[in-house]
Every structure is written in structure tokens, then in C-alpha cells.
Structure 1
Amino acid sequence: MSSPSSRQSWLPLFVLAVGVSMVVIDATIVNVAVPAMIDDLGLTVTDVEWVNSLYLLVFASLLIPLGRIGDQRGRPQLFATGIVVFLVASLLAAVAGSGAMLIGARATQGVGAAMAMPMTLAIINSTYFGRQRVIGFAIWGSIVGGMAAIGPLVGGWLVTDHGWRAAFWINLPIGALVLLGALRIPASREDRATGHDPLGIALIVLGMFSVVFGLIEGQKYGWLTPLRPAELFGLRFEEVSPVPFAFGIGILAVAAFILLERRRERAGRPVLIDLTLFTLPGFRYGAIAAMIVALGEFGVILVLPLFLQSALGHSAFTAGLIIATLAVGTFLAGGVVPVLTRKVNSRTVVQIGLALEVVGAVGIGLSLEAGMSVWRIVPWMLVYGFGIGFATAQLTSVLMADVPARQAGQASGLQSAIRQVGAGLGVAVLGGVLVTGLGSSVEKNMSSYPEQVRTSVANAVQESGGAAIPGLSDPAVHAAAVAGATEATRRVPVITGLVLLAGLGFTFLLPRTAAPTRDGEDADGDEGGENDSDGAGTPGPDSGGRHQEV
């Protein structure tokens, strides 16, 4: 591997970083463009819901099988193919003349994203070693954490100045540059995985799609009793909610998948996921921690834009600007992580990051007040973003540290899918806390009003997620609704902090791994594996040359 100063050695990382940015931003950018899409294409409520959710549903469903295909067919090739699919879908979305065409384009974008995303981690894992890998994962984590916050800001600017179609047109020149760079990414040297498992693919896609659908749509259709009629895949649900059926199908499919994989493994046949990955302590506990962290990290981004716009009356651009300060902290952390890992191990970096996230989330929650200056929460947003930059990158590093190189694609897809389930849980749990709290808090703050008025306003605010507040013309009712929304919103970051604290607890089960190395070189570039953060590192017989601290 060439030295870090070599431009060639860092070209793959730059290409992967730009590709990841495109994928992550497109997961959130469309939310800002929805009103303009409705006006231009005449979208129905159902159309809007599918435009928003189908990208994530397809993306989450295909991560695991496509990660395996990358191990088989070649990761740079699948990454480049994913970018091509993503660009074609972006073009179709940009020229869409109907809701059906736009929905189809968003689904296709999800396919391309699922091809490209797990390959970025797998390529970093197999291309960089020692200090370079620390830097690679730091940059990857900063982008994943920061771009989700920048998406609404970029979307607001593009939609306001250039129209909603610009949110898709902008992908074309960026993606073309990524494709040119992808041609220079070296192929992995390790033996590629072989064999096929078509039934396993069908089961895991069905299971992931159903579980993630239930998590995303539970608030809309009702967890048990129906909140509204639903027509899905030719079936109409009126007396019951489709969500319990989705969970049931998903759980049965995942259970059948696990049984199938175990049977195929015992028979010596190829498997989609090598379940022995979970015997690696770093992967097992890292996956649990990653799901909890994804659940918690979604909390602030979920509720703050709603609060800033509906309760405080700020524009979408201002709200996006405030959320983007989280990304500033994340990107700054990406520059600090490589320096910090010279002094402490990766597990400790993760723990510092989660501790900062806990402090930032609780600080944001306790700072929220009706009529406050929006800049009041910026310091806490920076702390929170700094924590994400520390935790996300190095948690991935620890999780992947002992994964054999030939399994990096399936491990990357699996950990990404686990994160998506965690994010879906975040939407379900923290979104439920917000919605339930909106109704009860608004009603409590209107205790002096007649029950009919109190219930009517509380229901309107609850069902709209707070968006109905600016339309309340009575100053006293408006003030009561703002106070209730403030109280309800405040709970979410505080609960987020508690969830992240649980994730911090799980990190103490992680091994204290040093950065994986090549040819006896340790994370600092020294020979012989000495001078590790917590003592001398010695490669074990099955570690593939990776150092594990003792």
C-alpha cells in the first residue's frame, strides 16, 4: 500500500466519500421538495407517502443480499454498477411527469443505493490498513453522520431557487465524476466468495422489507387498531391495520432465513450470511450497539425541524441551517479521530463519542423553550455532532476489525441493515413519544378551555405532528399549543440521551482492538506490533494479520 501522502492511495477514499454523500443526502432531500412535487405533479397523499418511504424500504431490504453479491462479483464493480443505477433513476425522477413514474424512480434509486453503500465499507476495509484505515473510517463516519443533517438544507436551497427537479438533476454531474474515479479503485486481492442461496435472498428481502415497513408506517396506519384505511399491493385494510401483518410476515421470514442458513451451513452449502460472524465479539456487540445508536441518533433530526418551523415559526431554510450545525461538529470530529486514536484505542473513541452524544442530546432537550432564540441550541448541536463523528466511524471500525476480508461485503451489508432497523425503531419509538406527547401536552396547557375546543385543537396538533400550530388564529390557543409542543418535543432529545446511554453500556462489551494492519505494521506505522494504545498487540492465528490488544 502506498504511503498516505500519495494521491493515488487516497483516490478510492475520495470517490467512496462522494458516492456515500450522494446516497445519504437523497434519503432526506426529498422531504423538503414534497410540497413543490404535489403542486407540479398533482400527487395524492398516498403518492407522497410512497415517494418518501419506498427509497428507504428498498434500500434496507437489499443491503444484505447485495453485500454478498459484492463479495462474489467484485466490490468496485458493484459499487460502480450501483452508481449507474442510481444516476439512471435520478434522471427518471428529474423528468418524471406523473406520480407513478416518480415512485418507480425512487424505488430504483433505492436499488442503486443498496448496491453502492455496503461496498464503500467493504472497500475501505480491504484497501486501507493501519493509520490509513483509521482515517478512512473517520471520514466515512463523518459523512454518514453529517450528510443526513445537510440534506434538508441542500434540499431547501435547490427547491427554493431551482425547483424540485434540481434535487435529482444535481446527482448527474456528481455521479459522473464518481464513476470516473471508480475505475481507479483497485480490486480486492482476497479470494472471492462463491455459491448462491436464492431462497435465502428471497426470505431476507421479504423479512427486511416487512419489518422496516412496519416500523416506518406504524404511526400512520396504527400499530394494532387501524387509524385509516390502507390499500397495499392489491389488498385493502379497513377493519384492521396492516402493520401487525407486516411484522408477523417479517419475523417469520427472518426466522425461516436463520434456520435455512444454519441447515445450509451444516450441509456445507453456500450461505447468504455466515452466522459465525456473530461469534466474533467485536461484530456481535458492535452490531447491537450500532442498532441502539442508530435508534438514538435519529431522535434529534426527527423532531427539531418540526419544532423550529411549527412552534417557533422559522422557515425551512433556517431550520435546515440549524440542523446543519450538527454536521459541522461531525466533520470536525472526523479530523480529530485519527489523532485521538494514536493515544487511545478505538473502543475508547466510541465511548467518548457516545458520551458526547448523551450530553448534547440532553442539553438540546433542556434548552428548548417557547420563544427561544434558535441559536441557543447550536452549542449543544455541535457537541452532539462531534459525538456522532467519533462514535459512528470507530464503532464501524471495531465492528469490522476481525471480519475476514473475503466476508467484508456481507458483513458491511449486514451491519448497514442492522443500522436501518435501528433507525426504523427510532422513527417508531421516538416519533411515538412526540406524537403522543403533543396531544396530551397541548390538552393539558388548554385546561381552562371547554373540553370540545381542547380536544379539537389537541387532535389537530397531534395528527399533523405540530404543523397545524401556525394556523391557529386565536393568540391564547396558539400560545397554549406552542407551550404544549415545546414540552412534548423536549422529551424526545432527553429520551434519546437515555437510549444512547444504553448504547454506551454495550460498548464496554466490545474488544479493545487496534487498527488492523498489513505485513506486521501496527496502527502507527511501527514494526513488530508494539506501542499499541493499551499494550503490545499480537496477531492471533485466525486474525488474518489483525492485531488484537491484550
Structure 2
Amino acid sequence: MTAESSRRRWLGLVFISVAVALIIVDSTIVNVAIPSIVDDLGISSTEVQWVQETYTLVFASLLLVFGTLADRLGRRAILLVGVAIFAAASVLAALAPSGELLILSRLVQGIGGAMILPASLSIINATFRGRERAIAFAVWGSTIGGMAAVGPLLGGWLTTYFSWRWAFGINVPLGVIILIGVLVFVSESREANDGRRIDIVGALISVVLFASLVFGLIEGRTFGWWLSDAPPSWWTWEISPIPIAFGIALLALIAFVAWGLRRERLGRSTMLAFGLLRIPSFRNGNIAALIVSLGEFGIILSLPLWLQSVLGYDALQTGFVILALAIGSFVASGAVGGLGSKLSPVLIVRIGIVAEIVGLLLVALGISPDASWWNVVPGLFVYGFGVGMATAQLTSVVLMDVPLDQSGQGSGTQSTSRQIGSALGIAILGTILFTSLGTGLQARLEERSEIPASAVTQIVDAVVDSSGTAIPAIEKQSPDAAADARAAFSDATRYSAFAAAGFLALGFLASLRLHSKRDEEQTDSAGEDASAAVKP
């Protein structure tokens, strides 16, 4: 390989990493901008979740589809189309006049994001080998960490001094830069065409599975978990639509597995490479990735809301606080390169998960109505350090033993595991946040005899539906009620952080079964060397 081609590969890696970082930047910007979006568009707390979840839901639903298409049609081509769609949808989001259209724009962004992520991982897996692959994943993770550090500050600055709409508009020039860089420096690659058709039925079943599951988790507190407490206008039955949604998800899961195994027996292509699940590192790594992602991303929904609604920070100040998380991630991503030669990737993953748990516990203990930024920043740094330690290495371990010709399906599967975990985490922790906020605030207000029962209901609904942004207006009418709202919001955010730490603890337990063929070969080699050393 010539020096020119080697330099071209590494420059291509930078633009591939920035393409993935575009997704991260967008997510962090949206988190910081949410309170301003609530004020401007008047969206409810459920719509707040859907602004996040629509993107994540579509993202998770289509990762397997586009991972397969990337292998078949061309990895670079799918990446380029994904970036173009993502940038175009960002324009629609920036111009959205209502919550409904913003959610629709996020849906289209999810389609673009689902094309970018598995294609980028598949390109790295197909382009680099051996030690270079480990370095490539470290660069990939470090770039994401660096861009994650830019996101909160950029989003806070744009939202505070211009408009939350520019928080979406910034994706357009970034998208143009990525398109040019990928076209110039990244070569096209695809797997050999074996003549098998793409599993369209499996793709449709997977979309139904993920859509119905996340819908049930998000809307359960609104429509009722069993009976229809507040049924939507399109629902006429006494039973809530939520158990129906969960039932559809269960049936879709059974159908997806049965259909995939049947096609595999017939030698046809499948959406999920069930044969890959026989690889221990791939199977156990995906389980760990899903559980860890449950805890990793849910807290990012609640913390910006608490900082702005309870502590009164503006979007830029919130961005500076969240920056501690991104700095921790960036520092860890750089440290992993040095540790890689001394510690196994699996051990680095476990250390990262433990750091995440410790960080979340520190954040939870620092949350109170009278807290300041320094109460949560140390915990966020430790948490971010853990994310940086675990993320890139877990990806590397999951894909380490995957055959090259199945790298697209492998990367799509592990990305799907992460996004399913992320979607479930946001849905579950969001439900914990808003449900505990409502019940806690109602209990506090009912203890105040001077507040009528009818007013209690109105205050609770206003605080929950506005995701806390109504607290300053309530304070003008009743300072005591506003104080109760801040206390209840702080308690709810703390419970959400504890729940996230609990999911990460389960992820750590899942990582104990995480090994790879490479680790086993190194262990066997070490054992043989030791045996040889003691022979006379």
C-alpha cells in the first residue's frame, strides 16, 4: 500500500467519523434546545418525548435494513444518501411551525441517521485490519467525543442568542462538508453479489416490532397502562391501546425470529444474521450494548429540563454544564489509545461501565432544588469518561470476530442493539421522570390546605405538560406551589438518574459474559508459553 493511499484512507476516516458525529451533535443540540422549543411551539411533555423518540424509533427500526443495503449496494453510496437526507430534514426541522411538523422532520432525520451509522461502521470494518482497525475505532470514538463537546455549547449559544431553529440549521453546512470529504477520500466497497434478494418482509416486521414497543412505553402514562384513562380520539374501546401495542410487539418479535430462521434454512438473506449470534463475542456484546444503552442516554432527556426549569439556567449555561459530560468522553477516548496495549478491550468496557454508574450516582446525589452547577459537573465528567471508555471499545469487541462479508449486517445489528436500548431508555426514564413528577407534585400540593383541589390538578397538569417550563409563571401566582414544583422535579430527575444507574449495573453484569476469539487465542497462547517455560 502506497503512502498516498494510506493517507487517503485516514483522511476518509475523519470525514466518516464526522458524519456519525453529525448525529451526536444533533442529539445534544436538541436536548439543550428543548425548553425553548416548548416555549415557542407550546408542545406537551409527551410531544417532548416524541421529538426525541420519533428520531430514535425510526433510527432503530431501519438500521438493519440499511446495514444490509450498504453491503449490497455500496457502503459509501448509502452513507452519502444518508447525509443528504439528514441535512434536508434539518432544514424542515428548522422551519417547522408546529410540534407535529417538527416531529415529522425528526422522523425523516431518523431515516438519514439510520443510513449513516451502519454504513460508517461497515466502511471502517472493511477498510482497516489488525492494529489499524483498533486505532480507527479509537479515532472514530474520539471524533464523536470531540463533536459531542461542541454540540451543547453550539446549541446553547444558537438557542440563547439566535433561535432554536438555528440549532437544526447548523447541520446543513456540516452535511455539505461531509459529502465533499467522503466523495474525495472514501472508496466505494460492497460485498460480492450472491444473487439473494433483500428480506423485505423481515424489514417490515422489524419496523412494526420497534414502533409498537416504543409507542407503548411512551404513551402508557398518557393513555393508561391497562384501561383507557385518557383515550385518544381515534380509540373507542374501554381497554387502553397500550396493551394492544405491547401484544403487537410480542407477536412481531416471534414472527421476526420465525421468519428469519426459515429464510436462513432455505439459504436466503435475512435482516438479522442469525448465524452471527453463534459468535459469543457478537451475541454477548449486543446484549451488553442494549442494556448499557438503556442507562446511557435516558438521563440526557431529564437533566437539561431540570437545569433550565428548576435552576433557571438558560440554554447556553445548560450547554456549559452538559459540556462536562462531553469533555469526560473526549478525555477517555484519548486515554483508550494508550490503555489498548495494556488492557483488553473487554476490561476497558467494564471499567467504563463502572465509571458511568459512579458518575450517575454522583449526579443523582447532587440534584436538589437549591443545587448549583458544581454539584453535578463532577458526576457528569466521571459519567462522560465512562461513556468514552466503553462506547468505542464495545463496538470493536462486538465486530471483532464478524466475517468481513457480513460486516454491514454485523454493524447494523450492533447499532440496532444500541438504538433499541437508547429508545427504550428514553421511553422508560422519561416515563419515570414525568410520572414521578406528577405524583410527587400532587402529593406535595395536597398537603397545602390553602390550595383548592381543582387548582392542584391544574398546577400538576401545567408543570407536567410543559416539562417544567411553566414553573416561573406559577411562581408569580403562588411561590409555595412553585417551590413544591421545583422540589418534585428535582426528586423526579434524581429517580431517573438512579434508574439509569440501575440499568448500567445490569449492563455490567451482562459484560461479564463478554469475550472474543481474540481474547481466547491470547489466553491459549499465554498458557502455552507458560507451559513451555516450566518444561525441563
| Superposed pair shares fold, TM > 0.5 | yes
Tell me which residue corresponds to 1:66: 66
Q: Give the secondary structure class of the aligned counterpart of 2:369.
A: coil
Alpha-carbon distance in structure 1 between the residues aligned to 2:343 and 2:159? 44
Partner amino acid, structure 2, of 1:162 = F
Contact between 2:223 and 2:230, CA under 8 Å: does it hold in 1? Answer: yes
Alignment CA distance shift 1:344-1:252 (3 Å) = same
Contact between 2:39 and 2:469, CA under 8 Å: does it hold in 1? Answer: no
Contact between 1:344 and 1:534, CA under 8 Å: does it hold in 2? Answer: no
Alignment CA distance shift 1:490-1:284 (3 Å) = same
1:138 positional shift: 2.6
Comparing 370-379 with 350-359, which one deviates more in the overlay?
Answer: 370-379
Q: Give the 5 Å matches for 1:123-162.
A: 123-142=123-142, 151-162=151-162
1:150 positional shift: 5.5
Contact between 2:59 and 2:111, CA under 8 Å: does it hold in 1? Answer: yes
Superimposed CA distance per residue, residues 389-410 of structure 1 (whole angstroms, 9 cap, x where no aligned partner): 0111111111111111111111
Alpha-carbon distance in structure 1 between the residues aligned to 2:487 and 2:37? 32
1:370 positional shift: 2.7
Alpha-carbon distance in structure 2 between the residues aligned to 1:24 and 1:266? 38
Tell me which residue corresponds to 1:75: 75
Alignment CA distance shift 1:75-1:501 (3 Å) = same
Tell me which residue corresponds to 1:486: 490
Alpha-carbon distance in structure 2 between the residues aligned to 1:36 and 1:465? 11
TM-score by length of 2: 0.86
Partner amino acid, structure 2, of 1:428 = A
Contact between 1:67 and 1:118, CA under 8 Å: does it hold in 2? Answer: yes
Partner amino acid, structure 2, of 1:309 = Q
Alpha-carbon distance in structure 1 between the residues aligned to 2:73 and 2:396? 24
Contact between 2:364 and 2:498, CA under 8 Å: does it hold in 1? Answer: yes
Alpha-carbon distance in structure 2 between the residues aligned to 1:204 and 1:42? 33
Contact between 1:4 and 1:132, CA under 8 Å: does it hold in 2? Answer: no
Alignment CA distance shift 1:537-1:170 (3 Å) = farther
Alignment CA distance shift 1:55-1:492 (3 Å) = closer
Structure 1, gaps ≥5 residues long: 517-528, 539-550
Superimposed CA distance per residue, residues 45-75 of structure 1 (whole angstroms, 9 cap, x where no aligned partner): 9987765543333222211111111111111
Alpha-carbon distance in structure 2 between the residues aligned to 1:47 and 1:436? 15
Tell me which residue corresponds to 1:200: 202
Is structure 2 residue 434 aligned with structure 1 residue 432? no
Partner amino acid, structure 1, of 2:506 = A
Tell me which residue corresponds to 2:17: 17
Tell me which residue corresponds to 2:532: none
Q: Give the secondary structure class of the aligned counterpart of 1:273.
A: coil
Comparing 236-245 with 391-400, which one deviates more in the overlay?
Answer: 236-245
Alignment CA distance shift 1:5-1:261 (3 Å) = closer
Is structure 2 residue 93 aligned with structure 1 residue 112? no
Q: Give the secondary structure class of the aligned counterpart of 1:224.
A: coil
Alignment CA distance shift 1:71-1:228 (3 Å) = same
TM-score by length of 1: 0.84
Contact between 2:67 and 2:411, CA under 8 Å: does it hold in 1? Answer: yes
Is structure 2 residue 369 aligned with structure 1 residue 370? yes
Q: Give the 5 Å matches for 1:55-454.
A: 55-94=55-94, 104-142=104-142, 151-183=151-183, 184-188=185-189, 191-192=192-193, 194-196=195-197, 197-230=199-232, 235-236=234-235, 239-443=238-442, 445=444, 448-450=447-449, 452=452
Alpha-carbon distance in structure 1 between the residues aligned to 2:173 and 2:211? 31
Contact between 1:71 and 1:192, CA under 8 Å: does it hold in 2? Answer: no
Tell me which residue corresponds to 1:477: 481
Contact between 2:31 and 2:304, CA under 8 Å: does it hold in 1? Answer: no
| Cα RMSD (Å) | 3.4
Alignment CA distance shift 1:513-1:58 (3 Å) = same
Alignment CA distance shift 1:217-1:324 (3 Å) = farther
Alignment CA distance shift 1:170-1:537 (3 Å) = farther
Comparing 340-349 with 292-301, which one deviates more in the overlay?
Answer: 292-301
Superimposed CA distance per residue, residues 181-240 of structure 1 (whole angstroms, 9 cap, x where no aligned partner): 212212337535642222222212222222233333334443333353435xxx446744
Tell me which residue corresponds to 2:533: none
Alignment CA distance shift 1:108-1:443 (3 Å) = closer
Contact between 2:51 and 2:102, CA under 8 Å: does it hold in 1? Answer: yes
Alignment CA distance shift 1:455-1:270 (3 Å) = same
Alignment CA distance shift 1:76-1:192 (3 Å) = farther
Comparing 64-73 with 411-420, which one deviates more in the overlay?
Answer: 411-420
Structure 2, gaps ≥5 residues long: 529-536
> Greater RCO between the two (CA within 8 Å, min separation 6)?
2
Q: Give the secondary structure class of the aligned counterpart of 1:472.
A: helix
Contact between 1:193 and 1:406, CA under 8 Å: does it hold in 2? Answer: no
Contact between 1:133 and 1:515, CA under 8 Å: does it hold in 2? Answer: no
Superimposed CA distance per residue, residues 64-96 of structure 1 (whole angstroms, 9 cap, x where no aligned partner): 111111111111111112112223333444455
Partner amino acid, structure 2, of 1:107 = L
Give percent identity, aligned residues only: 45
1:332 positional shift: 1.0
Which is helix-richer, 1 or 2? 2
Superimposed CA distance per residue, residues 229-278 of structure 1 (whole angstroms, 9 cap, x where no aligned partner): 435xxx44674433333222222223212111111111222222221111
Alpha-carbon distance in structure 2 between the residues aligned to 1:489 and 1:48? 16
Contact between 2:35 and 2:308, CA under 8 Å: does it hold in 1? Answer: no
- Match of residue 501, structure 1, among 489, 498, 505: 505
